[in-house]
Homo-oligomer: A and B are copies of this chain.
């Protein structure tokens, strides 16, 4: 008794579109539609093979595509599972003052400054592509490490139902978590824009830094499976404490 609609479709073996790609898209649709949820196991490979009358190698090729984009992960002897979209994997690193023990315990603390209903102003309406004054939830918070305030964040998500603000949400106040907890839509993709800027007076007070301190201004937008924006945030990272690293060029497995 399956309700995986797309899986009843057939593959066109005479199409110029490769079978493995057709199958990958089919499974992708089922995952995006929620017929397979994160953590759940996919049918075994030989199932797909016999059901669609194709070779197991072709099934593997399809699933491999989904592995590459991180939509599923396979475990030998167990099965292939739907992953959680990693929406917060742009890693800011805390600057590590030389000599300090990097494995030192970090005491991360989140202080909620406010959580309330907010009627979309012009900026937010534009960001989320919603009418003016649409009901939204607004979170304001400060993230501190070792009692030092480092990040100031304002997060907005489209209001959908009266959910109480759970404490568990505030342990992980990432935008994707807030969206997933408070709406019926799941967060699928995200976009971040980084700017270099200088603290405003308000931010300087909140972050306990002097005026003219440089900051990273990070705007994040989160989209559902139809690429409609469902959440938006603007974060201020202290520029004297955070940095961003990226690697380029050739590497195979190791780095």
Residues of B within 8 A of A244 (CB): 193-195, 244
Choose the segment among A81-89, A109-117, A141-149, A155-163 that binds chain B (4+ C-beta atoms closer than 8 Å).
A81-89
Could you say how many copies of this chain the assembly holds? 2
Inter-chain contact B190/A243, CB cutoff 8 Å: no
Residue of A28, A66, A242, A249 most packed against chain B (CB within 10 A): A249
With A212-B212, A245-B191 as contacts: A250 and B70 at CB distance below 8 Å:
yes
Q: Mark A187-215, 1 if CB is under 8 A from B, else 0.
A: 11111111111100000000000001011
Chain B CB within 8 A of A59 CB: no
When each residue 20-48 of chain A gets 1 if its CB lies under 8 Å from chain B and 0 otherwise, what string results?
Answer: 00001100100010000000000000000
Q: 11 other contacts beyond A32-B250, A69-B251, A214-B214, with CB at 8 A cut-off?
A: A28-B252, A85-B248, A86-B249, A189-B255, A193-B243, A194-B243, A194-B244, A196-B214, A196-B215, A197-B239, A244-B244
Known A198-B214, A212-B198, A214-B214; judge A248-B88 contact (CB<8 A).
yes
Give chain A interface residues in 53-85, CB to chain B under 8 Å: 57, 65-66, 68-71, 85
Q: Are B198 and A248 in contact, with the CB atoms below 8 A?
A: no
Tell me whether B196 and A250 are in contact (CB under 8 A). no
Whole-angstrom distance between the Cβ of A200 and the nearest chain B Cβ: 12
Interface membership of A1, Cβ < 8 A: no
If A68-B68, A197-B239, A198-B198 touch, whether A90 touches B248 (CB-CB below 8 Å) is: yes
A247 touches B193 (CB 8 A): no
